[in-house]
Each structure stands twice: as structure tokens, then as C-alpha cells.
Copies of this chain bind each other. A is one copy, B any other.
């Protein structure tokens, strides 16, 4: 028996695998440039039981920013477009909005004037559209919007404006025992209704910004009511805090695209052993939009410098990705 097995092994070694027996490329939408190689090398290092950098599956935590890393964020964050749609939908119940900024400008279609009020204006829009209902009611509102709303430029559902190479990367990491998390500045309850279907990421692996909720009994039934008060801002310094609060262990891989992800990348790479830090650089003016150091949305300035200084992986979308969106691969 032993001899037979040895001959069989020798045959495989000599003849090699037939093409159909070779593993399919796990990242077909990535060109064979440096980022793809960095990903494949990292995964091999941490998963090979014999390697010095082996990491047990339970500790293979990978964190992904969402806006600009897993889906697009232009011409503005999709959650802000959701809030604007909600203002229009709720306007009949708020006749006073016709006279009150930022709502008055918004309802006239003048988004620039509406947002000129900066963060306080945005907070007013968010709180008036995201609070005042139960968590179950908000879940339904988000699901209906995701099913019906269309991106102003591509006229596609927002959940089709996701990056095909990143979908492949998520699946590849999970196939290698990684637990994939979203760590986003966006609202956690705005993401959870659709992340499982779109990214394969279940609700309990979504970390995001949140408003406070309050437990109440209504007609003998317990509900959680969404209050117009910030609970947690999962951006910049907040990302390591959110990761620690919700996961309780340090990730070994982090993926972002803007300065809002910088502290998450620093926190991830400060651990010992093999680490992967990757920044998606929006360089493709033709297939998407090119923006970085001076952009209002998704500014990437300090992050680009630190990536250079620390040798983090930077994806040049134009040159490193064969396709941007899933609908471009069909």
C-alpha cells in the first residue's frame, strides 16, 4: 500500500496537475500587479501551519471600511442621498420645513446651499430622518429604499455600485478562515439590512456609527426607539475604539480608502506578526471618479503619505483592477 501511495504521489509531482485540477484564480478581477501579490503572499503566510507567521483561524480578523472601499461614495455618501430622499418623503408631514434651513433649500433641490451649513446642517438632516421610529420601522425604511433608489449617475441600485475586486477579496479571505468585518463611519443600522446579501457579512460583523436607542413597552410589546442623539461616531480615532469595543481583538488585516481609515490601519499594523494594510486609491476617472488629497468626500491625504512611509499596499484602481463594478464583468 505504501509503495502504491508513493508512486501515486510521484506521478502527481512529475506530471503535475492538469489545468482543470489547478485552483482557479481567487482574484480574477485583479491584475497581476503588486497589490494582488501582496494579498496572496499575506494570506499564504498567515494560513500555512508551518510558517512562522501562522495565525489560528479564530484570530484571522479582517476589517473593511465601507464607503469608497467596498462601494462607491460619489457624488456624496450614499447614506446622505438616502437622508435627502427621506426629507422629500417626510416633507408633507413637516410643512414648517418649507421655511426652515437646511430643509427649505433641500426641498427646492439646492443641495449645495442646504449643506453649506456644514456639520450642524447635516446633523439636522440625519436626526430628522433617522430618529423617532422603532428599530424595526427603520429597518423596513432602509430595505425599501435600497430596493427602489437609483444612483444619480449610473441609474443602478446602490447595492450594485460595489467593487467587484473587493467582493472577490472578501470571499477569498473567508475561504481562508478569515472573519470579515465592516468598520464604517456610516450608520450601522443603515448597513445591516443589506450587507449579508451584498457582501456576505452578517449583521453582527458590521460596526458603524450609531444613535442612541431606548427600550420601551408599547401595548405590552418591547420595542427599541431610535433617539435623536449621537451614540458613537465610528470614524478616524473612533475606528480602533469601535473595533476594540465590538471585536475585542486586534485585526490582522485592514482595508480603507480615506484619512478616516488611518487610525484603523495604524491600530491593525501595530500588532506583532504578519499584518496587511491596504488603501484603495481612486485613480480611475473613466470607470469611476478620480479623487484623493483635496476631495471633500473621502479625502485621502495623510493616509497616502503614511502608506508610502510605512510600505502599506496602495491599490491604483485604474491599473490594478480589471473591473470596478460587477455589471462591468458580465
Contacts and interface: CB of A to CB of B under 8 A. Distances in A.
Given A240-B215, A244-B135, A266 B204 contact: no
Interface in A194-246: 196, 202-204, 206, 210, 213-215, 217, 221-222, 224, 231, 237-238, 240-241, 244-246
Interface in A50-83: 58
Given A203-B247, A248-B204, A248-B206, A241 B224 contact: yes
A97 interface: no
Contact of A244 (B217, B224, B246, B247): B224
Nearest to A179: B204
Contacts of A214: 237, 241
A215 B237 contact: yes
A193 to B, nearest CB: 9
Contacts of A217: 266
* Residue of A210, A222, A263, A266 with highest tally of chain B CB at under 10 A: A222
A238 B188 CA distance: 18
A202 B58 contact: yes
Contacts of A135: 244
A270 interface: yes
Interface in A254-274: 263, 266-267, 270
Given A213-B244, A263-B215, A270 B203 contact: no
B222 A267 contact: yes
Interface residues of A, number: 34
A204 B249 contact: yes
A192 interface: yes
A203 B204 CA distance: 13
A263 B215 CA distance: 8
A243 B13 CA distance: 52
Given A58-B202, A224-B240, A224-B241, A248 B192 contact: yes
A227 to B, nearest CB: 11
Given A215-B241, A241-B215, A241-B224, A204 B246 contact: yes
Nearest to A210: B245
B224 A188 contact: no
